[in-house]
Chains A and B, each alone.
Chain A
Amino acid sequence: MSLFEAHDLSVSFGGIKAVRDVSFTIRSGEVFSIIGPNGAGKTTLFNLVSRFYETDSGSMAFDGVDITGVPPHRIAEMGIARTFQNTELFEHETVLTNLLIAHHVHRRTRLVADLLFLPGARRQELDFRRRVEDVIDLLDLQSYREQPIGGLPYGARKMVEIARALCLEPKLLLLDEPSSGLNPEETEDLSFWIEDIVEDLGITVAMVEHDMNLVATVSNRVLAMADGVVLATGDPTEIQNHPDVLRAYLGD
């Protein structure tokens, strides 16, 4: 069953057509990877899905609902979480606060209840606090819990960002180059975690990734892009041997 469908998406910045008529579907419960050389439009595609960019033409549907005109903050409520290529964490706050912020979509209290910290607000805080701990356990972040983001090593920040996205309890998780800046061991750990996320939490993962090893290990299907257009879609081995893909990476 398809969880996400994109139909003929296009966007251009000035004269540059960053994404041209891209169509793809993400099936429920799979790991879907997007590969391509630098400047292929992979991150742009993610920004279209998170609605940071306005699409020029085409449409997107998530879980059967059209999201082409939905404002960006509604995307998270609908169940799409994402991470960023160069990590966009809340720098001055601790890991714990970062993860608690992600629970915003689940809030049941409003301003007045928060100001007075009514019993409902307290119950909600305790509930959020407990759920945060599940994610910390899953990704082994215990030792960083109380530390401010500013002092964390890059690899840990990457993991905190994934943890924060998981705290949204999404149906679809978009990972933008999760392995960039990680060492080979950390990348290997990452592949196990991605499998855990898909199998244990039942979250569908879509990722932009350059590390072909990681892509081949975890992905069910791969979409290859170059210069804003789709070259091919298929399983990892198929894509790695596809003539168009080889040409895009290696030249003629």
Chain B
Amino acid sequence: MRFVQKTNYAQDVNLFLHNGQRFWYGLLALAVLLAPLVLDRFYLGEFAYLYIWAIAGVGLMLLVGYTGLVSLGHAAFLAIGAYAHAWLLTQGVPFVLSVPLATAFCAIIGYLVGLPALRMTGIYLAIATLAFERIAAWVIEHWESVTGGHFGMRVPDPTVFGMNLDGPVPFYYLCLGILSLSLFAALNLLRSPTGRAFIAVRDSEVSAQSMGINLARTKCTAFALSAAFTGLAGTLFSHRIGYLAPDAFTVQTSIQLLLMVVVGGLGSLQGVVYGAIFLGLLPQAIAIGRDVLPQWIGEIPGLEPGLFGAILVLFLIFEPLGIHGRWVKVRLWFDQFPLYRRATYKRQRSYLRTERVR
């Protein structure tokens, strides 16, 4: 077990607590930076896709894992980010300007969606955000002059100062860079008053108020930021699929996003990355499973969404803190061996608040 001797307060403020962390995260950074040297085209594309999911996950994690508000409508923010970006590009706005503009647009929409959320929590909020997702989908289908309706729209290639970033290697680095920036911003948020206000609202609204935290403003900020990160992911997502159509963003996308943060581990940014890896591997696992299992199982209709739902439920019951939570427990078990107490992580209160009577 490592004991860190702290000699100044900056150690509590810095991103890395000790050199061990610096070493391992440095190694990880080196590995993802050098990955294009060894990976082929297909895997680079898959990794870039995983990074895009993780960026959206950062957004949803801030909302669900840190502010304690559930959203089933995040596919809409992904879609709004993607469409706004694609539309701006077709209007001749340069890529470097279009991404922040689309992100800001999502933040504004997110803020507006947050307003009715002030009075709702738990399942009611989930339903309200689901309704928002449906409305957004309807608008996208019918606003043909901008979105192309059911026919969809082609997304122009990303170009930065005359360089085309559509190739697998540049796009990989683009996604990696934006993911790194997103994680950095989220980490900064969580070590400063804004992020701590989110946590306060999640754990006790009454207490948060008596600490001088403005509930309305905090929740709206959380929604706006969450929408901004997810919209940012949407702008990259549009390049990944190349051609936008309404059926790319469905309720199932929202559920996948929620699945990602729950499976990864609510209340941790590492969890976002674990969740994204899980979500990236799951379709492959299902494909392999189809080949191995008897044919009649593989042919069950709706197998994939059914599995998503089942996994979500199993995690909520058996490991509410997700993969990251499990990892923390395993690490603590080794740290404290043989003195580990099971009760250390006994669930005190739920994150999703559906069980709580207000």
Partner-B contacts on A (CB < 8 A)? 50, 52, 71-77, 81-82, 84, 88-93, 96-97, 100-105, 107, 109, 111, 113-117, 121-122, 124-126, 129-130, 133, 150-151, 164, 168
B13 contacts which of A82, A101, A126 (Cβ < 8 Å)?
A: A126
Q: Which residues of B contact A102 (CB under 8 A)?
A: 211
Q: Which residues of A contact B189 (CB under 8 A)?
A: 114-115
A34 and B319 CA atoms in complex are apart in Å by: 45
Shortest Cβ distance from B191 into chain A, in angstroms?
7
Q: Are B206 and A101 touching (Cβ within 8 A)? A: no
Q: Which residues of B contact A52 (CB under 8 A)?
A: 206, 209
A91-B203, A117-B188 given as contacts; is B9 within 8 A of A104 (CB)?
no
B 178-211 binary contact with A (CB < 8 Å = 1; else 0):
0000000100110111111101101110111111
Q: Are B214 and A101 touching (Cβ within 8 A)? A: no
* Contact-size category for B: 35 or more
Q: Are A90 and B210 touching (Cβ within 8 A)? A: no
A92-B267, A96-B12, A122-B13 given as contacts; is B213 within 8 A of A114 (CB)?
no
Shortest Cβ distance from B162 into chain A, in angstroms?
28
9 CB-based A-B contacts, threshold 8 Å: A71-B214, A76-B209, A88-B207, A91-B348, A100-B196, A101-B208, A101-B211, A111-B225, A130-B9
Q: Are B193 and A114 touching (Cβ within 8 A)? A: yes
Q: Are A117 and B192 touching (Cβ within 8 A)? A: yes
Q: Are B209 and A104 touching (Cβ within 8 A)? A: no
Q: Are B185 and A150 touching (Cβ within 8 A)? A: no
Number of A-B residue pairs, CB cutoff 8 Å, is 115
The yes or no answer to B212 lying at the interface (CB within 8 A) is yes
The yes or no answer to B344 lying at the interface (CB within 8 A) is yes
Residue of B192, B196, B203, B221 with most chain A CB atoms under a 10 A cut-off: B192
A101-B200, A129-B12 given as contacts; is B213 within 8 A of A73 (CB)?
yes
What does DSSP make chain A's interface, helix, strand, loop or mixed? helix
Partner-A contacts on B (CB < 8 A)? 9-10, 12-13, 185, 188-189, 191-197, 199-200, 202-204, 206-215, 221, 225, 267, 343-344, 346, 348-349
Q: Are A168 and B211 touching (Cβ within 8 A)? A: yes
Residue of A100, A104, A125 with most chain B CB atoms under a 10 A cut-off: A104
A90-B207, A104-B196, A129-B13 given as contacts; is B213 within 8 A of A150 (CB)?
no
Give 8 closest A-B pairs by Cβ, nearest first: A76-B212, A90-B203, A105-B212, A114-B192, A117-B188, A88-B207, A129-B9, A107-B193
Q: Are B13 and A125 touching (Cβ within 8 A)? A: yes
A84 and B206 CA atoms in complex are apart in Å by: 10
A96 and B203 CA atoms in complex are apart in Å by: 15
Q: Are A90 and B204 touching (Cβ within 8 A)? A: yes
Q: Are A109 and B193 touching (Cβ within 8 A)? A: yes
Shortest Cβ distance from A172 into chain B, in angstroms?
13
Q: Are B193 and A104 touching (Cβ within 8 A)? A: yes
B194 contacts which of A114, A130, A164 (Cβ < 8 Å)?
A: A114
